């Protein structure tokens, strides 16, 4: 296996670690400025933080008209997309460049 195939693994690992920090920032923004919305989101899920993941994927945050919260959610979505692309780069790299 070529060594350069470890680059997408490193990017994916960094994205996995970064998601916790960005999700905490979204959670903190909801708690500080929109506590009633945070309680509604978390009560909608059986698992802790499960409602927050669904909230990030949806568009309910746009109704709050909070540009900082929207920016944090956009950053988190971009991180998810980067993690997905890096994860797909592994088999593509192995198919085309690996031997």
Mean pLDDT for 65-85 is 93
Distances from the Cα of 60 to the Cα of 9, 51, 52, 88, 90, angstroms: 33, 12, 11, 29, 34
| Whole-prediction pTM | 0.80
Domain boundaries, the chain: 3-97
The 10s digit of each residue's pLDDT in 4-21 is: 778 888 999 999 999 999
Mean pLDDT over the full length of the chain? 87
Indicate if the pLDDT at residue 56 is higher than 80.
Answer: yes
């Amino acid at each position: 296996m070529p060594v350069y195939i470890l680059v997408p693994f490193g990017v994916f690992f960094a994205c996995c670690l970064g998601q916790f920090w960005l999700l905490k920032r979204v959670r903190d923004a909801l708690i500080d400025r929109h506590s009633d919305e945070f309680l509604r989101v978390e009560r909608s899920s059986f698992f802790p933080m499960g409602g927050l993941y669904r909230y990030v994927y949806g568009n309910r945050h746009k109704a709050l008209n909070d540009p900082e919260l929207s920016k944090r959610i956009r950053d988190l979505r971009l991180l998810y997309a980067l993690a997905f692309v890096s994860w797909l780069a592994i088999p593509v790299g192995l198919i085309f460049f690996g031997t």
